């Protein structure tokens, strides 16, 4: 039985902050898990160091399900992003250990490959429609089968999801949150034009996606979905804040544009009604923020019963450890839909050497035992933590608005 002898939290900032948990066993094998919660990183580091790690020492590292239940039920205070990210980090690290001890990549332990690779989508961002389409062309030329389109909105100084950087978009910055300004009417006028021009320029062989970032009411989202129907989107993401799961009924009544939601969900309970009533088509919960591989499999199993497919969040604030876990999960799960992929910077890739790769728009986790990702601790130590926040959003009259 491999006993857990120690566990450590490693905080590093190779261009952005990452929190990683490393669990060591008496069999000389260790595992790592991502514990990064964008803008609230140190809360998870403390939760792990002060409350979780003391409970892990001496436990059998093979008992992944039991340790998951012990941390979830044992906390008394269930769910929430901090708790579930901490549990996810432990869970990932334990799957990594189990894979290494078995001499198998984690996807083999999850039932083996259900496909040759995981289809991913890249991010095409531009300050205007022409620039967005130009970036989308670059992805298509690289073999991507799916691209997310976001463009600056005329009349708004800045639009979330759009950056000057070509490939390495990083939304968290500044020692205090940046304040941005939002106008729903300007946005709703602009987006159909973006997709109209994109279809003209890119044709119909590439999947197109769009992220609303939770900024519409359900009826506004219904209208946008309807306006976008002629352009056959792969999905419309985070159309409305999802605390009110029943709100998606209203969107569904008005549009057949497929809906995706879930990047800020942290448990199956956040998505239960959405899935059971078939109010969404893709569930975007992730390994790192929704309790690890163990819990994400449970969410995917419920989703599978209702023809809902996976579409895991994969922005740059999810570390390469998360990406490796997502790809092992995605390769094996029967109802895989798509995986988001934003490239990490070369500095981040150097800190987290990994076996996953991309070819022809499909990603594969590689065949190294475990998750297939490591952390270079000496290099990680060179990048000191820097407090950084996601922006906040106000209406033009100054009213605090949805993120």
Ligand X SMILES: O=C(O)C(=O)C[C@H](O)[C@H](O)CO
Rg (CA), the chain: 20
Residues 209 and 109: their CA atoms lie apart, in Å, by 32
Whole-angstrom Cα distance, residue 266 to residue 286?
8
CB of 331 to ligand X, least distance (A): 21
Query: By C-beta, is 211 or 374 nearer to Mg ion?
Result: 211
Of 123, 190, 207, 213, the active-site residue reads 213
Q: Which residue from 24, 41, 96, 211 is in contact with Mg ion, where contact means CB under 5 A? A: 211
- What distance in Å separates the CA atoms of residue 284 and residue 340, rounded to the nearest whole number? 9
Binding site for ligand X (CB under 6 A): 38, 171, 211, 213, 263, 313, 315, 317, 340, 390
Q: Count CB atoms within 10 A of the CB of residue 305.
A: 10
Q: Where are the beta strands (DSSP E) in 177-225?
A: 179-182, 207-211
Residue 3, SS3 per DSSP: strand
Choice between 213 and 295, CB closer to ligand X = 213
Contact residues for 222 (Cβ-Cβ < 8 A; gap 6+): 250, 251, 253, 254, 255
- Which strand (E) or helix (H) includes residue 112? none
Nearer to Mg ion, 35 or 212 (CB): 212
Which one of Mg ion, ligand X, none interacts with residue 354, CB within 5 to 8 A by kind? none
116: its two tokens: 């040759």
Which residues, listed in sequence order, are joined to residue 123 by a DSSP beta bridge?
Answer: 148
* Smallest gap from residue 237 Cβ to Mg ion (A): 5
> Smallest distance from the beta carbon of 247 to Mg ion, in angstroms?
17
Q: Nearest approach, Cβ of 83 to ligand X (angstroms)?
A: 18
Contact pattern for Mg ion over residues 247 through 276, marking x by CB under 5 A: ----------------x-------------
> With CB cut-offs between 5 and 8 Å by kind, which of Mg ion, ligand X, none does residue 317 bind?
ligand X
Catalytic-labelled residue, pool 107, 160, 187, 341:
160
- CA–CA separation, 157 and 265 (whole Å): 29
Active site residue 51: no
| Inter-residue contact 89 to 34 (CB < 8 Å) | yes
Report in angstroms how near the CB of residue 165 gets to Mg ion at its nearest: 17
Residue whose C-beta lies closest to ligand X: 315
160 is a catalytic site residue: yes
| Residues at the interface with Mg ion (CB under 5 A) | 211, 263
Q: Which residues are part of the catalytic machinery?
A: 160, 213
């Amino acid at each position: 039985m491999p006993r857990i002898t120690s566990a450590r939290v490693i905080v590093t900032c190779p261009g952005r902050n990452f929190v990683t948990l490393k669990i060591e066993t008496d069999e000389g094998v260790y595992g790592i898990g991502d514990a990064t919660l964008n803008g609230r990183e140190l809360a998870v580091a403390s939760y792990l160091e002060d409350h979780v790690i003391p409970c892990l020492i001496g436990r059998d590292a093979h008992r992944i399900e039991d340790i998951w239940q012990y941390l979830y039920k044992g906390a008394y205070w269930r769910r929430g992003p901090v708790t579930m990210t901490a549990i996810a980090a432990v869970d990932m690290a334990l799957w990594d250990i189990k894979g290494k001890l078995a001499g198998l990549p984690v996807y083999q332990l999850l039932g083996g490959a259900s496909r040759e690779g995981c289809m991913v989508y890249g991010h095409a961002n531009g300050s205007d429609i022409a620039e967005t389409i130009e970036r989308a062309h670059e992805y298509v030329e690289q073999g991507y089968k799916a691209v997310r389109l976001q463009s600056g909105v005329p009349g708004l100084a800045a639009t979330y999801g759009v950056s000057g950087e070509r490939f390495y978009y990083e939304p968290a910055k500044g020692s205090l949150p940046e304040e941005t300004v939002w106008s729903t009417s300007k946005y709703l006028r602009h987006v159909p034009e973006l997709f109209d021009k994109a279809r003209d320029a890119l044709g119909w062989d590439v999947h197109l996606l769009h992220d609303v970032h939770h900024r519409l009411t359900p009826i506004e989202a219904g209208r946008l979905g309807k306006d976008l129907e002629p352009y056959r989107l792969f999905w419309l993401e985070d159309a409305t804040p999802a605390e009110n799961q029943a709100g998606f009924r209203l969107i569904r009544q008005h549009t057949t544009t497929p809906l995706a939601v879930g990047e800020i969900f942290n448990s199956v309970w956040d998505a239960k009604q959405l899935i059971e009533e078939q109010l969404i088509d893709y569930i975007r919960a992730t390994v790192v923020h929704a309790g690890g591989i163990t819990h994400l499999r449970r969410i995917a199993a419920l989703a599978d019963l209702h023809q809902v497919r996976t579409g895991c969040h994969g922005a740059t604030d999810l570390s390469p450890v998360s990406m490796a876990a997502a790809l092992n999960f995605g390769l094996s799960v029967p109802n895989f839909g798509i995986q988001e992929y934003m490239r990490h910077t070369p500095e981040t890739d150097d800190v987290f050497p990994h076996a996953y790769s991309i070819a022809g728009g499909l990603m594969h986790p590689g065949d190294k035992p475990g998750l297939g990702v490591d952390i270079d601790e000496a290099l990680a130590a060179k990048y000191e933590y820097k407090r950084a926040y996601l922006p906040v959003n106000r209406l033009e009259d100054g009213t605090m608005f949805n993120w």
